């Protein structure tokens, strides 16, 4: 079953889906923006961004704005592709029922 194959285990969590959704339509998003949009705690968000980073689906850039550290995320080409595949698979499953 090719449909099941396209369901990506890495995305199998609503916070990870959320992070990817935001990064698909924005060039980049910083930690606080994601936190506000997804309404999650620091630790929770950090663990999910790490998982996505480990899979090479998102890119992390650490920088300083003035003296404040700022972490911003963007989507990689691979992440974009995989996310699109995942969404298509979800849509197919829904249409089948």
Partner 1 sequence: MESKDYLKDLNEIKDLMNKSSRFISLSGLSGILAGTYALIGATIAYWLVTEYSYGTLTLDGYIFRLCVLILLLVAFLSAITGIYLTTKKAKKNGVKIWDATSKRLIINFLIPLIVGGLYILIILDQQKYGQSGALMLIFYGLALVNASKYSIGDIRYLGYIQIILGLICAMLPGYGFWLWVIGFGIMHIIYGTWMHFKYDTK
Judged by CB under 8 A, the chain residues 2 through 21 that form the site for partner 1 are 14, 17-18, 21
C-alpha dihedral (38, 43, 46, 48), degrees to nearest 10: -70
Give CA angle at 79 (78, 81), nearest 5°: 65
Q: Report yes or no: 84 and 67 within 8 Å, Cβ to Cβ.
A: no
74 near partner 1, judged by CB under 8 A:
no
Residue 37 Cβ, how far from partner 1 at the closest point, in Å? 5
Q: Give the Cα separation of 70 and 29 in Å (integer).
A: 11
33 near partner 1, judged by CB under 8 A:
yes
93 near partner 1, judged by CB under 8 A:
yes
Q: Give the Cα separation of 1 and 93 in Å (integer).
A: 12
Query: Of the two residues 13 and 50, which places its CB atom closer to partner 1 in the complex?
Result: 13
Query: Of the two residues 39 and 77, which places its CB atom closer to partner 1 in the complex?
Result: 39
- Contacts to partner 1 by CB under 8 A: 14, 17-18, 21-22, 24-26, 29, 33, 37-38, 87, 90-91, 93-94, 96-97
């Amino acid at each position: 079953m090719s449909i099941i194959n396209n369901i990506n285990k890495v995305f199998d969590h609503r916070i990870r889906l959320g992070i990817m959704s935001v990064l698909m339509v924005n060039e980049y998003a910083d930690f606080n923006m994601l936190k506000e949009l997804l309404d999650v705690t620091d630790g929770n968000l950090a663990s999910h961004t790490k998982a996505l980073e480990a899979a090479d689906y998102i890119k992390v850039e650490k920088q300083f704005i003035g003296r404040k550290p700022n972490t911003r995320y963007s989507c990689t080409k691979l992440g974009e592709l995989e996310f699109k595949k995942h969404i298509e698979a979800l849509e197919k499953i829904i249409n089948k029922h």
